[in-house]
Structure 1
Amino acid sequence: MADQLRILVTNDDGVDAPGIKLLEKIARKISDDVWVVAPAGNQSGVGHKFTLGTELSLDQRDSQVFAIEGTPADCVVIGMTHVLKDKPADIVLSGVNRGQNIADIIHCSGTAAGAREGVLHGALGIALSQSMDFSNEQMIGWECAERHGEAAIRSIIENGAGKDVYYNVNFPRCAADEVTGIELVPHQRFSEAAFEYYPSDNDGKFFVTILKTPSPLDADADCVRLLEHNAVTVTPVRMQQSDFDAINDLQGKLSLDQ
């Protein structure tokens, strides 16, 4: 396996973030052919944004490590179509993100976008995140991702079905030996939007943030299984987002005649 798989590693926390250093280390246990193309700085929450109409440059940090003043999606595009154009990566690993990417948050996650863009280029895309307590942002432990990351990735490589999905993996915020197992779960669909306005202490300024987790929560979805049951959660996410039931239900009903 080591001499066959080419792996591209990216993230949204930046090329110097501890999570991507950990993921590169894990990737090198799986393959001898590992490349890193990641944002030069923090790009958290940018989703699947591209830096269009702006010149970018590629900063080579090491023989197989590159940084771009752009987004995770930019990085995967450049990695697959320029850096590795002669032999594009078989697998795109995105992360390990600082903090969980679960529920509807995956729609704005740059980590998820890195894996998703990888699938669009024909690779197996896996996004990985280490859960943390955001009430104390100075405290995050990487033990679960470090201990269980390789096994989780290998399991998906060996058993993942098809290339029209990407896999969203989250590691719980507990001691590595307290992990209850790996579970395939849907992502939590919140009952209402999670992000909202929050005033700053500075006059006239404000933040967009998550003040509370919308409820109720599905006992079988990623939020509860990760945060309350200490499971490593894996969510396969479809690339084809069309609602075929709605297409069938509305067929022949829409009209431009008034």
Structure 2
Amino acid sequence: MSAIILISNDDGYRANGIASLLNFVQDLGITYTIAPDQEQSSCGHALTLHRPLRVTKEGKHLWSVDGTPTDCVHLGLRSTVLPQQPKLVLTGINHGSNLGDEITYSGTVAGAMEACLLGVPSIAFSCLSAGHSRNDLEALRLWVHHIVTYVLKTGLPKGTFLNVNFPDPRRSKIEGLRVTTQGTRVYGAEVVEKSDPRERRYYWIGGDVIDQPTEPGSDVEAIESGFVSVTPLHLKLTDHKMVTALKQTNLECNHLASSLLSNNDISDSLQNLTNVIPLERP
């Protein structure tokens, strides 16, 4: 029986990346595409709740939505838009990387995350740099096919999805594939302030990468070395070390009373926490 595959992205249904992704996996099952009607980059895991969503049929097995990638995936899995229930969700191929801290902003990653939350295996695909033609992306065909085939055969653990990043195929040959951890990318917090012809202020939020520490085994290191990065991500965000540290303080209690937390108790609690995370005292 053929796999039912839902494809989405955050660059919009007309983007070269999603067209290439669809082309790469068509032989692996029955594919449906539900994607935003315009670019939704950096929208994160936003779900539209304050207005109705409009869905437009753009072609055979292709729909556009005036919403976010999360909206698109949610509609594909929980509405009657599609005639069949997808068993795998793919997002991308994003025009630009989603490495390290970038995943918290990414609409591409959020689409895969939404599928994961709804119990469907998913993979997010991104490619370093932007402006790729479909011919540029052709170098990724075998890698995409290899990864999707693997997931179709083996599945993924509940609550886990894959975040895949490719080096820019225009720069050099891909060296191989590495299973990685989430790395770190630090952006400058740049906000450009200007005024329009009516002297009303407006702002552009931006900033370039100013630091990306080399962490062995990370997605950032793999991409810098010319490898495809495959990072398993899960939705459990609890900091277990911090839970243990906080349980050793007086923060946890059954009730509050004026005598429960004296100044000395608070001081001792802060002192204990400084072993885990530095705290500034007033």
| Partner Cα distance (1:139, 1:60) in 2 | 26
Cα distance change of structure 1 residues 154 and 106 upon mapping to structure 2, 3 Å threshold: same
Structure 1 position 246, deviation (Å): 2.3
For 2:22, the aligned partner's letter is E
Aligned to 1:152: 147
| Partner Cα distance (1:223, 1:210) in 2 | 18
Structure 1 position 149, deviation (Å): 1.4
Note the residue ranges of structure 2 that are not aligned, 5 or more in a row. Answer: 262-282
- Relative to the length of structure 1, the TM-score reads 0.87
8 Å contact kept, 1:174–1:230 = no
Note the residue ranges of structure 1 that are not aligned, 5 or more in a row. Answer: none
Does residue 54 (structure 1) correspond to residue 51 (structure 2)? The answer is yes
State the percentage of identical aligned residues. Answer: 27
Larger radius of gyration: 2
Corresponding residue SS for 1:52: coil
| Partner Cα distance (2:28, 2:171) in 1 | 20
- Which of 64, 68, 78 is the equivalent residue of 2:65? 68
Q: Which residues in structure 2 correspond to 1:33-182 (within 5 Å)?
A: 33-83=30-80, 87-132=84-129, 138=131, 141-174=136-169, 178-182=173-177
Cα distance change of structure 1 residues 213 and 187 upon mapping to structure 2, 3 Å threshold: farther
Corresponding residue SS for 1:170: strand
Aligned to 2:22: 24
- Which of 204, 207, 212 is the equivalent residue of 1:210? 207
8 Å contact kept, 1:130–1:144 = no
For 1:17, the aligned partner's letter is A
For 2:231, the aligned partner's letter is T
| Partner Cα distance (2:92, 2:190) in 1 | 28
Cα distance change of structure 1 residues 217 and 153 upon mapping to structure 2, 3 Å threshold: same
Question: C-alpha offsets along residues 9-56 of structure 1, whole Å, 9 cap, x if unaligned?
Answer: 00000011111111111221211x111111000000000001111111
Question: C-alpha offsets along residues 155-177 of structure 1, whole Å, 9 cap, x if unaligned?
Answer: 23334541211100011113598
Cα distance change of structure 1 residues 214 and 177 upon mapping to structure 2, 3 Å threshold: closer
Cα distance change of structure 1 residues 83 and 38 upon mapping to structure 2, 3 Å threshold: farther
Aligned to 1:196: 189
Corresponding residue SS for 2:245: helix
Question: C-alpha offsets along residues 180-224 of structure 1, whole Å, 9 cap, x if unaligned?
Answer: 11100011134xx52512426767544222323324331421112
8 Å contact kept, 1:129–1:169 = yes
| Partner Cα distance (2:77, 2:44) in 1 | 19
Aligned to 2:230: 234
Aligned to 2:266: none
- Relative to the length of structure 2, the TM-score reads 0.80
93-102 vs 161-170, which moves further: 161-170
